[in-house]
Structures are given as structure tokens and as C-alpha cells.
Amino acid sequence: MAQRLKGPGLVGELAAEFAGTAILILFGVGVVAQVAAAGTGEFDSIAWAWGLGVTLGVYVAGRISGAHLNPAVTVALAVFKGFSWRKVLPYALAQTAGAFVAALIIRWNYSETLSRFDPGLTSKSQGVFSTLPGVGVSEWGALRDQIIGTAILLFLVLAVTDARNSLPGGNLAPLIVGLIVVAIGMAFAANAGYAINPARDFGPRLASFLTGYETAFQDTSGYPYFWVPIVGPLVGGVIGAGLYELVVGRFLPSEELEPGTLATETASAEAELARI
């Protein structure tokens, strides 16, 4: 008799979250270092590389852990999709650890470039690793921005991964999720740098602080800004997931439909059968 394969278990899931988030940060923080410090590329390069980093990270971790890669996703799924609350903190720690280690690699790889660009390791190059508010944007404006951006992210991620909805075919969901991040970057980057992910911001922020950026946890005015891209995405993710359930999810059929079938068509068919 063939042995039944065992699931990866929590350790495997955490390893996948660590690896997937590390891939995300290697491409995301790496491209910002290349564009901002080395002067190679432009803003579009940043938006596309972050999106591709998400896509590749999801392909790495998706089969094992679901590829949350973001504590805001993990919390939202626990609130609305039945994800186990006992896994929330371990997932968030694994995601943050993956982001931290990947940021250390980028810090090491671009050490000469960063030192040449910003010898004092100030806020001039801090934005390579973590986000800062835009010119004239207060911490409360940045918090608003993070809530809105992450709400959009979770609303759309649930839309393209809900088995009851019209799923992308051919295992293309990771690519679509990456394109969602590209779109958010192109539309919502000016105010606060579109962190939309506490692990993506705090892990690299901590890595930069431990490698010479003494003001890493502050903005240019000296305000302890680090909490904004943590709290904002956590709140925004729950709001976005809740809105999805309110305006879309609760109207979807309870069972997965055949490809190309609309929920309204199924409802009409069921009503017709009920009249027979």
C-alpha cells in the first residue's frame, strides 16, 4: 500500500513564508538600491520589480503556505477566511525574518554604492530599505494612505484567489497578484512609498538600523515613523477583506462553478428548478 504523503506542517509553512518573503525583498529592495543609489533605471523599474518580486515569491511559497508574504494578508485571512489564529504570529515573524535577511543581503551587496551615494547613511538612502512620508505629508496622511493602499490590495487579492469567483486559469494567480502590486505602486506611491506590508517595511528597517542607519526608525523630522507602515496595513487589510466579503463574497455561490459560468446564471437555474 502506498504511503500517504504528510503535509508540510507548521515548520514547512514558516520556511515557505520566510523564503517567499525573502525573494520579494531581494527584488524589491534591490531595485530601489539600484535606481536610487546607483542611478540605474527609473520609477517604473521600481514598480515592476516589486510586482515581479511578489509574483516570484508567491510561486515559491504558494503550494506550501498559501504565500501570504505579508502580515496584513495573514491577519485579514484569520478574520474573514478561517485561517488559524495560532499561526498568525508565527507567520508574521517568519515573513519579517525573511525580509530582514534579504535586506541584509542587499545592504551587503550594495555597500559600496550606498556609501558613495550617502556616506553618512542618512534618510537620503534610508528609503532604499524602508518607507518614509512624502514631502508635505504628515504621519496621519501617510497612515491614511497605507490604510487605503492595503485595503485595495486585500480586496483584489481575495477577488482573484476566491475559488467561488472567476479564478485566473493556468496557475496565473501569482502573476495577477504581482500586477496588482504594480498598479498600486504606480497609483499610490507618492504619499508614503506603498509599503502595504508590515514585514516588508519593518524587516529591512531593522536591518538598516543594525548596519549603520541610526535614524532608521524616524522620518526626516525626527518623528518615530516606523509604526505607520505597520499599523496602517494591518487596519487596511482587514477593511479591504471586509469590503470584499460585503460587496462581492457574500453574493458568490457556495460551491465552485464551472469555468465561464456566472453566479447569476446558477441562481437563475436553481430558481427554475425550484419551480418545477
The pLDDT tens digits of the residues spanning 18-48 come to 999 999 999 999 999 999 999 999 999 999 9
The pLDDT tens digits of the residues spanning 127-177 come to 999 999 999 999 999 999 999 999 999 999 999 999 999 888 889 999 999
Instruction: Just give the CATH number of 9-275.
Output: 1.20.1080.10
Taking the C-alpha atoms of residue 104 and residue 211, their distance in angstroms, rounded to an integer, is 8
The predicted model scores a pTM of 0.91
Instruction: Tell me if 199 sits within 8 A of 91, measured CB to CB.
Output: no
Q: How would residue 5 be classed by pLDDT, with cut points 50, 70 and 90? A: low
Query: For residue 173, what is its C-alpha cell?
Result: 494567480
Domain ranges, ordered by start, for the chain: 9-275
As a whole-number percent, the residues of the chain with pLDDT over 90 amount to: 86
Q: Cell 475559488 belongs to which residue?
A: 163
φ, ψ of residue 2 in degrees (nearest 5): -65, 140
- Residue 266, pLDDT above cutoff 60: no
From the list 195, 51, 70, the residue with the least C-alpha distance to 127 is 195
How many Cβ atoms from other residues are within 10 Å of residue 163's Cβ?
9
Taking the C-alpha atoms of residue 249 and residue 191, their distance in angstroms, rounded to an integer, is 30
CA 206 to each of CA 102, 167, 195, 199, 232: distance values in angstroms, whole numbers, following the listed order: 12, 37, 15, 10, 18
**From start to end of 176-231, where are the E strands?**
none
